[in-house]
Structure 1
């Protein structure tokens, strides 16, 4: 029997804290027997039974005083019980005992279903405990309706922020989830607070998880608060374009440009506009006008230096250059502008690094006693594209054939995300020491520096701003650009890998990097996986004896002048058809081709537009439907050219001056094929017509290509790797000799 009230209650409290719920419950049962009118005893006993796992019994105990209470006192009693449970739930939360906190709060919800802060806490715990069925009950709970009503709502804004962060980071979005975000927006008096939650989440969903329309849906909600937020519009334009919603992406980019005032902002807005126009394909007049405007603003930006920029604006400086070589083949003029912008980028990034105490300089004396004969060189590869991507398909032979006895390989995966991507999984095995990294350039550079990489190889060039930032910070003593695009022009990069063909002899005059020409080819593969074709001529209503031309490039590379040459070829070759494949806006690209076909006197019924296939091996197999592939200009195919040659299909290419206009040329030379290499516009048409009319010539080229698989440098990944490794050794030797 309880004789001292203070002592037994202290004892019960100690039992509760120690988890001895049965003993504590026994004490409260005795107390109720002695003083059945003290209501608080029932609340404590019910709580202890709940903690013991006896939920039904707990509810029965709580109901005893509630059933006997009159209407006037009932709210007071339920509030007392609610407060007791809340105190215990908060204690459990501090102890990180989330299961118990979640359980207690579920009973609080039964007592007061409309208390929003408790519902928000339940959501947080449901996410932590992965009780996603609870999240599906959002509508049933009435949380969204209560938030929308905004009547008598005393909401904990910090708690709401925590819910949204957890929500956006942990569960797949669906309309119900978006409704929760939408209903929460009016509670943000500070729009920047909302911006800081929604934008990072949208970037994660749109870029890393590759769900651009979901990301766009989030940003559309924020635009209700700030319709003219240029940063939101930038990302929104990108997500629309990534989701192939080109018209909306173009219009959003135009709005972004009209609202941009600073030169750096205008540059990137023009990039977004070009990105949308070129991805859609066919908007040629607008593309040329926008490109001209971009070059003008670039020149204004260069003349206006110095301009103080924060990191975000610095990072956006280089990528816009990507569009210009798709439009014209004037590398000396292009690089005169681009290299100056790259120098500004480098200077600003270096200053940013110094402001954060990032100094990656290593005294050369540390290495001077270590020649290539005594040192195992540490080679680092950095890229976001070592996955199901053109770079991923082409770089794998270098990784596979590396001599691990002589070279210590490190690979830095930028914006790594665990996805179902067998090529990424392959790279993780072949990568040597793999670093799975995010999108922070300073952190990536730190990792590279800490690993003491000797030669850092950039596979992205300017196609990813984060990689450009890493290279500009110069975390390795020797830095090289290979494969991903043309040279970036960043002064921190020492060498650009080329070969005897892919750049003209005078190219060094306008490159800041030292052009390192490998003896034969700058790229080689051992081959490609080829699946089962899904295309047949009869499916496309094409006669079996017809001559089939094919062009398989995305909208970016569709140039009206090249398309005119292609139509002139079709016109000159009887019983010929033209297959067009590549990612673009379907109706826009059809209008583009139909208009040029009509201008050149070609019946549009001879054109066929092919759907995309989701398997690279099937795409390659389907190339076999073509008799001749017609390359693009001034931006050639690269991966598609290699695939065409591997499949033994004759190719017609126009050779230009810039790197992008000579890719197919070097690949054909390194496959031992000169038939189809054109040095003028007229030669392009002549080769296309000749190959179309001369079946014997086509067969001869196909046989040469088939035989080249055993002999040509283009198909010898192992020999290419040895040449790359020799280049690395020579670069190192030059470095330690101070050259």
Structure 2
């Protein structure tokens, strides 16, 4: 920047004084203007510059006095002209300080401009901008400034909308979920709803709010305000549906998804909208007939896609299709049909992703191929990819593998898809890796760039913990940035052709299951998961508080709404009908009113009084949840999608479990965990056996005590509770996979 770049319109600094200004030698510049005023008291620009220099030196009162003194002898018209000159001087210096990123000086100068001209909206926005940069902005400051009122009044902004967009993003990141951020955003939408860059600011902000900051309802309210200006924005409606559902406002979420479905004729987008409708119905729970109808429609769309796949699907639409088969195993235990449909959809998506990133794919292929003939490195580079490494079921289970990893044999790389705030377990995971990448913090949100990072890190084996629960992981795996890619833990295998292995065990997926998977099923010797245990807090449930007699038999089922299959609930009610002293505690995220009606209707059909059902609220911590399991005499598992983390927690607490075993992975989780804990009591292979075991465990206290004793003893001997041994088996699998690859 030249010394004269801010000298304009005769409002010039003396060259020597300006040199001192640039050198931040304010004392000499102040003495110069004091002498100049003594010599030429009628030259008003000297007062403006002197006051500014005093302001830069932190003497605000003296600066204001100097400016007032300079105007004291003026007539009204003169004062108006002098005020405009002063503002110009201050604006010019504020702009210079902004180029230097001196936010504190720029904020101070603009505060004085605001006092002189409180209606300058662009100046107000820059004050907010600097306060955000200084991390000092509060809701009280924003309200006192009056910027929202000026925006609502239609006050003009000098320049284009870039400033307003920048401030909007900053306010949402800084003040959300304070209601004033919503009010500010609404005022901005009035001015920006047709601006092409608005979505580039709004969508990342609401996604961070909904997921990283765990404020999905506030994010939904923001999008509702935007939709007042564009009722048919299908992109916004998709996010709105997800946020509402995640916030427990299921009706609004389903309605938004249905609106999206009705507004689009594009088949991939139709499928995504249909998936959102299905997601809302299943997450709410209890909408069983509506969900069955939605599933039928959804499968018809998927089959149409497979029958005549579009030639060129947009990359964003392709990514969304990865999760489109998610709910199939929740409806039926049909390994052949479910896997066939899923594998075909995954192959279609994978091919499209690779076609759209041919250069990247070729680069990764070259690196992967070149590693085949290499000797085993001193230590394998293992990358873990997930959005669940924190307070999440996957996070509670995978931590033992990280804790016991042999750091001499393996270098560990963590790729965190989501940033998690106020999550101690997330912070622990961050500390466990030799190298960490966090989406939106240490890198771009672009999946291709993350794939590039994985390839650049020369990862030997990439472990995906999420399967199709996260579409972004599926896109990354389709690009195949690592020579060996493995799915483990988060769900059933994805069916993506570029995934080499799926970690299982002899119980959860026997030999005959391989026919249904494109991945090679890698069976660990005993169990595909093991933990050293769980933190257990202080229970908050008591029988007397729930008005349950001391001699009652308490059954419990704690699962989310989408695991509540009507046929299984009917079996549970048959158990309750046969155990007169039985009570049923029902827990899990769902639409409370709908879920109650769902259970009560089936109970009454089976002759069970509704006062024997008790619906429990969620508790603040996982440790308290586990402690509260102790109130149960028997836990009844779900089918065709069993519990996983909930099953492990039940067994750890020493509580008998009744589970129904099927063919698919999701219907065999509890089975493998019980077998690896040395328990066969409660394992049912038919609906009739499920009911029989439920009745026996309810009526036979000696049998319950026997199971509880076995579970207690298993903590000293069972592979299910031996995280160190499990880690050694996983590490041996990694080394064998690498050996196969290099040979």
Query: The TM-score by the shorter chain falls in which range?
Result: over 0.9
Is the deviation greater in 609-618 or in 569-578? 609-618
The answer to whether the 8 Å contact 1:191/1:226 transfers is: no
What secondary structure is seen at the aligned counterpart in 2 of 1:321? Answer: coil
Partner of 2:409: 406
The answer to whether the 8 Å contact 1:281/1:585 transfers is: yes
Partner of 2:678: 672
1:49 to 51, 54, 58: 54
What secondary structure is seen at the aligned counterpart in 2 of 1:60? Answer: helix
After superposition, what is the alpha-carbon deviation per residue over 1:451-475, rounded to whole angstroms, capped at 9, x for unaligned?
2121111111011111111111111
Cα separation, 2, equivalents of 1:683 and 1:457:
37
Partner of 1:105: 110
Q: What is the CA-CA distance between 1:231 and the residue it aligns to? A: 0.3
Partner of 1:553: 559
Q: What is the CA-CA distance between 1:189 and the residue it aligns to? A: 6.4
Unaligned runs of 5+ in 2: 1-9
After superposition, what is the alpha-carbon deviation per residue over 1:636-680, rounded to whole angstroms, capped at 9, x for unaligned?
000111111111111111111110011011111111111111111
Unaligned runs of 5+ in 1: none
After superposition, what is the alpha-carbon deviation per residue over 1:5-41, rounded to whole angstroms, capped at 9, x for unaligned?
9999322222222222222222222222232222222
The answer to whether the 8 Å contact 2:371/2:742 transfers is: no
1:421 to 423, 442, 448: 423
Is the deviation greater in 226-235 or in 102-111? 102-111
Counterparts of residues 467-482 of structure 1 (less than 5 Å): 467-482=473-488
Is the deviation greater in 330-339 or in 62-71? 62-71
After superposition, what is the alpha-carbon deviation per residue over 1:601-628, rounded to whole angstroms, capped at 9, x for unaligned?
1001111111111211111111111111
1:389 aligns with 2:392: yes
1:177 aligns with 2:174: no
1:440 aligns with 2:446: yes
Is the deviation greater in 348-357 or in 13-22? 348-357
1:628 to 634, 637, 640: 634
The answer to whether the 8 Å contact 1:453/1:476 transfers is: yes
1:451 aligns with 2:457: yes
The answer to whether the 8 Å contact 1:198/1:222 transfers is: no
1:132 to 113, 132, 137: 137
1:84 to 89, 114, 125: 89
1:460 aligns with 2:466: yes
Aligned residues: CA RMSD: 2.0
Partner of 2:206: 202
1:60 to 52, 57, 65: 65
What secondary structure is seen at the aligned counterpart in 1 of 2:614? Answer: strand
Counterparts of residues 228-243 of structure 1 (less than 5 Å): 228-243=232-247
1:273 to 249, 269, 277: 277
Cα separation, 2, equivalents of 1:254 and 1:458:
32
What secondary structure is seen at the aligned counterpart in 2 of 1:316? Answer: helix
Residues 426 and 6 (structure 1 numbering): CA distance in 2 closer, same or farther, change over 3 Å? closer
Cα separation, 1, equivalents of 2:368 and 2:192:
52
The answer to whether the 8 Å contact 1:212/1:243 transfers is: yes
Partner of 1:690: 696
The answer to whether the 8 Å contact 1:440/1:466 transfers is: no
Residues 258 and 16 (structure 1 numbering): CA distance in 2 closer, same or farther, change over 3 Å? same
Q: What is the CA-CA distance between 1:568 and the residue it aligns to? A: 0.6
Residues 547 and 238 (structure 1 numbering): CA distance in 2 closer, same or farther, change over 3 Å? same
Q: What is the CA-CA distance between 1:210 and the residue it aligns to? A: 1.5
Is the deviation greater in 681-690 or in 400-409? 400-409
Cα separation, 1, equivalents of 2:171 and 2:642:
44
Cα separation, 1, equivalents of 2:177 and 2:348:
40
The answer to whether the 8 Å contact 1:535/1:625 transfers is: yes
The answer to whether the 8 Å contact 2:577/2:607 transfers is: yes
After superposition, what is the alpha-carbon deviation per residue over 1:203-227, rounded to whole angstroms, capped at 9, x for unaligned?
1111222111121122112112211
Cα separation, 2, equivalents of 1:182 and 1:271:
30
The answer to whether the 8 Å contact 1:8/1:27 transfers is: no
1:218 aligns with 2:227: no
Residues 357 and 337 (structure 1 numbering): CA distance in 2 closer, same or farther, change over 3 Å? closer
TM-score, length of structure 2 as denominator length: 0.95
How many residues align structurally?
Answer: 729
The answer to whether the 8 Å contact 2:360/2:479 transfers is: no
Q: What is the CA-CA distance between 1:480 and the residue it aligns to? A: 0.9
The answer to whether the 8 Å contact 1:21/1:52 transfers is: yes
After superposition, what is the alpha-carbon deviation per residue over 1:17-76, rounded to whole angstroms, capped at 9, x for unaligned?
222222222222222223222222222222222222222222122112423222233222
Q: What is the CA-CA distance between 1:493 and the residue it aligns to? A: 0.5
Query: Structure 1: which 4+ aligned runs deviate by more than 6 Å?
Result: 5-8
1:572 aligns with 2:578: yes
Counterparts of residues 462-541 of structure 1 (less than 5 Å): 462-541=468-547
Q: What is the CA-CA distance between 1:240 and the residue it aligns to? A: 0.6
1:431 aligns with 2:433: yes
Is the deviation greater in 358-367 or in 254-263? 358-367
TM-score, length of structure 1 as denominator length: 0.95
The answer to whether the 8 Å contact 1:191/1:225 transfers is: no
